[in-house]
Amino acid sequence: MADRIVVVDDDQMSLKLAKRVFDRAGIEGTYLGSGEEAVACFDGTVIPDLILLDIHMPDMDGFEVLKRLKSNPALRNVPVVFLTGDEDVKSETAGLHAGAADFIRKPFAAEILLKRVRNLIELNRLHSDMANEIRAKTEKLSRAYIQIVEALAASVDAKDRYTHGHSSRVAAYSREIARRAGYSAEDEDRIYMMGLLHDVGKIGIQDAIINKTSRLSDEEYAVIRTHPAVGAEILKKIEDLPELMTGARWHHERYDGCGYPDGLKGEEIPEIARIIAVADAYDAMTSNRSYRGHLPQEKVRAEIVRCRGTQFDPRFADIMLTMIDEDRDYLMKEI
Ligand SMILES: [Fe+2]
């Protein structure tokens, strides 16, 4: 595809000269005689590769045109080169501050004009190709990151014969509580990840204990209770995301300080872990077990109310209660 250029200059001689240079070089050009024409010409359908803009024009000068062009998102990345008469250091400085890519002095030598225009177009193209590539790679990486975490969470859930999709439900409930609590979208994503990984320590617990349907012995119960610390150890290895272990380590802490593994109390427990704790308990009650189906919604609600302020942070318990009350058809449960 031919390069596309727009030249704006009130001096017809100068326009003619530019046209001759670019026509000969096979560059597609639009030649405009005023700033107003330039502003009106960009309707967003055709984006030029470069704009050559005269500074001194009657009515609307080059600075004003540049300002208007830069405020158009479609044109923001198009390099604008100012055409200046002889020595005009003041204009050049002001132009650079306003976002001009370069200057070309008039009267211009055909060969230099062409060479500089081509260099700038090439440079800008490289720059935008690189930016696009980085964006695509970053998006791909973050998708892969989510998928790896989801796969890890699914492998935890697969160990337990009776809790299907526990991790992803806890993650979804946690995200919703966080959203209602006013967290940013970015924080919501973080808490979703931590929700997915909260039980990752169960990987280190024998299947026989996890899947035991009869009463656990004290020793077995003690083994189960190691899963938050084991999970935190596993996630600590992901050094670039140090906060990832927060949910895993502290989701069994209680607001009154009677939880485990560290017996943290109230605000000592990271907020994210307090959110996951409510979501985790809610899912335990609303999912099916080997020995029972999910509990009736009334009972679940009463249990959240009963444990509000003892097991759960009252603030997040209240959000959970609102979610329950809005869930008229009791859809928020394991099916
Ligand atoms: Fe757990």
Is the pLDDT at 140 greater than 90? The verdict is yes
Q: Higher-confidence residue: 214 or 280? A: 280
Reply yes or no on whether 202 is catalytic.
yes
Does one domain contain both 74 and 216? no
Q: Which domain-ending residue is among 114, 131, 148?
A: 131
Amino acid in the structure at residue 281: A
Give ion ligand 1 contacts, CB < 5 A.
199
| pLDDT single digits (tens) 18-48 | 999 999 999 999 999 999 998 888 776 778 9
* Phi-psi category of residue 44: left, alpha or beta, with phi > 0 → left and psi -120 to 50 → alpha: left
Does one domain contain both 121 and 268? no
CA distance 76 to 66: 10
Which residue shows structure tokens 């427990």?
269
Does one domain contain both 21 and 117? yes
240 falls in which pLDDT band (50, 70, 90)?
Answer: confident
Count the domains in the chain: 2
CA of 92 to the centre of ligand 1 (A): 64
Does one domain contain both 38 and 80? yes
Does one domain contain both 115 and 58? yes
Quick check: is 142 in a domain?
A: no
By DSSP bridging, strand 4-8 and strand 50-54 are parallel
Quick check: is 154 in a domain?
A: no
Does one domain contain both 111 and 176? no
Which residue from 70, 91, 92, 90 is spatially nearest to 80, judged by alpha carbons?
A: 70
Does one domain contain both 291 and 199? yes
| pLDDT single digits (tens) 285-332 | 999 887 788 999 999 999 999 999 999 999 999 999 999 999 999 999
Does one domain contain both 69 and 217? no
CA of 228 to the centre of ligand 1 (A): 7
Does one domain contain both 90 and 181? no
Using alpha carbons only, how large is the chain's radius of gyration in Å? Answer: 32
Quick check: is 155 in a domain?
A: no
86 falls in which pLDDT band (50, 70, 90)?
Answer: low
Does one domain contain both 122 and 222? no
Q: Average pLDDT, stretch 112-118?
A: 93
Does one domain contain both 262 and 306? yes
User: Is the omega angle on the peptide bond into residue 261 within 30 degrees of 0, that is, cis?
Assistant: yes
Secondary structure in 3-state letters for 54-97: ECCCCCCCHHHHHHHHHCCCCCCCCCEEEEEECCCHHHHHHHHH
| pLDDT single digits (tens) 197-235 | 999 999 989 999 988 888 889 999 999 999 999 999 999
Q: Which domain holds residue 25?
A: 4-131
CA of 151 to the centre of ligand 1 (A): 18
CA of 238 to the centre of ligand 1 (A): 20
Which residue shows structure tokens 């590539």?
133
CA of 180 to the centre of ligand 1 (A): 23
Distances (CA, A) of 227 to 127, 148, 209, 261: 48, 20, 12, 9
> What CATH number is attached to the domain comprising 50?
3.40.50.2300
Q: Which residues contact 109 (CB under 8 A, 6 or more apart)?
A: none
Exactly one of 19, 70, 140, 202 is catalytic; name it.
202
Is the pLDDT at 134 greater than 70? The verdict is yes
CA of 50 to the centre of ligand 1 (A): 58
Termini Cα distance of the chain = 56
Which residue shows structure tokens 């996951």?
276
Does one domain contain both 314 and 273? yes
Q: DSSP 3-state helix, strand, coil percentages of the chain (rounded to 5)?
A: 60, 10, 35
Q: Average pLDDT, stretch 187-196?
A: 95
Quick check: is 141 in a domain?
A: no
Contact 74, 44 (CB under 8 A): yes
